[in-house]
């Protein structure tokens, strides 16, 4: 697909960060520099990748604002546009040598996510979308959400935030209700890839009760452009404010959302 200039800048930055991460992934032993809480690590790899993305994006678009997981928020001269970046989504996997992590870059315009890139550098899979232009994998594969309609044949993904007692009881209830109705639930540890996989039809749905803006911004537009639904977990609320969302294909979404939402 012929992307816009902004999308090309995002893809280039994701590739550059991906190269740095792949290099660091070979020598993970000495990378950890801190923790933000239980199961929430920071490594030199996260910091290096964010620096690379920041340098690339701000050089290309100096007026845009910035929201990065490791460096926080910086207002831009242009208050209507900002980059939303998670340089390494799936740090715990990364530190354990598990090849399931991604770079996530989104562009927000007037409060709406208009483009997103999720790059799985270990598997060389680049998922991307721009509002109105469909969702894509690598150079030329158009992706669509799955066509499954039966819950019992569907596989769902979620994230269970370690160390958080705030949402754990609700999460346990979700699992107890959903598991008997479906073919499987996966918890692979990268929210950005969970959403990208829904877009690619690999998962039939995904929900999470503690997902930060940088985890989900890019994936959200990719799912929508792949023909899927992304909604606040509780109707009428705001995904980013609540940090809770539910996504899925059209065939199972109603039943899936009902299962998770009803108490
Ligand atoms: C985490 C991953 C995980 C999700 C957590 C996130 P990080 O991001 O996306 O799947 O369940 O909520 O914090 O810290 O590895 O970038
Ligand atoms: Ca983190
Ligand atoms: Ca993340
Ligand atoms: Ca991260």
Neighbours of ion ligand 4 (CB under 5 A): 69, 86, 88-89
40 in a known ligand binding site: no
DSSP structure string for 126-149: EEEEETTS-EEETTTEEE------
Exposure class string for 51-83: b at 16+ Cβ within 10 A, else e: bbbbebbbebbeebbbbbbbeeeeebeeeebbb
- Beta carbons within 8 Å of 37's beta carbon, 6+ residues apart: 163
Domain ranges in the chain? 5-142, 151-261
Our answer on whether the CB atom of 116 is closer than 6 Å to any ligand 1 atom is: no
Our answer on whether the CB atom of 90 is closer than 6 Å to any ligand 1 atom is: yes
30 DSSP assignment: G
Query: 3-class DSSP state for residue 246?
Result: strand
Our answer on whether the CB atom of 87 is closer than 6 Å to any ligand 1 atom is: no
At 34, list the tokens. Answer: 């801190």
Q: How far apart are CA 26 and CA 28, in angstroms?
A: 6
At 76, list the tokens. Answer: 């831009």
Q: Per-residue pLDDT tens for 129-174? A: 999 999 999 988 999 999 999 999 999 999 987 777 788 999 999 9
Q: Are 171 and 160 in contact (CB under 8 A)?
A: yes
Which CATH architecture does the domain made up of 5-142 adopt? 2-Layer Sandwich (3.30)
Q: Are 222 and 107 in contact (CB under 8 A)?
A: no
Distance, CA of 230 to chain centre: 12
204 in a known ligand binding site: no
* Structure-token match 């989504």, residue found: 89
Q: How much is the pTM?
A: 0.96
pLDDT given at position 251:
94
Our answer on whether the CB atom of 86 is closer than 6 Å to any ligand 1 atom is: yes
Q: Which CATH code is given to the segment(s) 151-261?
A: 3.40.190.80
7 in a known ligand binding site: no
What is the ipTM, given to two decimal places? 0.97
Q: Over its length of 263 residues, how does the chain's per-residue pLDDT go in tens digits?
A: 677 999 999 999 999 999 999 999 988 777 777 887 777 788 899 999 999 999 999 999 999 999 999 999 999 899 999 999 999 999 999 999 999 999 999 999 999 999 999 999 999 999 999 999 999 999 889 999 999 999 999 999 999 877 777 889 999 999 999 999 999 999 999 999 999 999 999 999 999 999 999 999 999 999 999 999 999 999 999 999 999 999 999 999 999 999 999 87
């Amino acid at each position: 697909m012929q992307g816009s200039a902004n999308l090309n800048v995002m893809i280039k930055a994701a590739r550059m960060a991906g190269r740095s991460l792949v290099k660091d992934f070979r020598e993970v032993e000495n990378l950890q520099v801190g923790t933000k809480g239980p199961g929430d690590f920071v490594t030199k790899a996260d910091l290096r990748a964010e620096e690379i993305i920041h340098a690339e994006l701000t050089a290309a678009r100096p007026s845009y604002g910035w929201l990065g997981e490791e460096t926080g928020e910086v207002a831009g001269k242009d208050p209507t546009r900002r980059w939303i970046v998670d340089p390494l989504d799936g740090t715990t996997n990364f530190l354990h040598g598990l090849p399931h992590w991604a770079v996530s870059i989104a562009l927000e315009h007037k409060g709406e996510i208009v483009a997103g890139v999720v790059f799985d550098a270990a598997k060389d899979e680049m998922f991307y979308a721009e509002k109105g232009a469909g969702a894509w994998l690598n150079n030329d594969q158009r992706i669509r959400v799955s066509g499954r309609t039966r819950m019992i044949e569907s596989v769902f993904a979620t994230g269970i935030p370690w160390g958080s007692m705030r949402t754990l009881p609700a999460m346990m209830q979700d699992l107890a209700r959903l598991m008997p109705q479906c073919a499987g639930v996966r918890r692979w540890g990268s929210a950005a890839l969970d959403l990208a996989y829904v877009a690619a039809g690999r998962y039939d749905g995904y929900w999470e009760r503690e997902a930060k803006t940088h985890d989900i911004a890019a994936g959200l537009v990719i799912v929508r452009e792949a023909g899927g639904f992304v909604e606040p977990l509780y109707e009428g609320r705001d995904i980013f404010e609540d940090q809770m969302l539910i996504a899925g294909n059209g065939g199972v979404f109603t039943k899936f959302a009902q299962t998770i939402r009803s108490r």
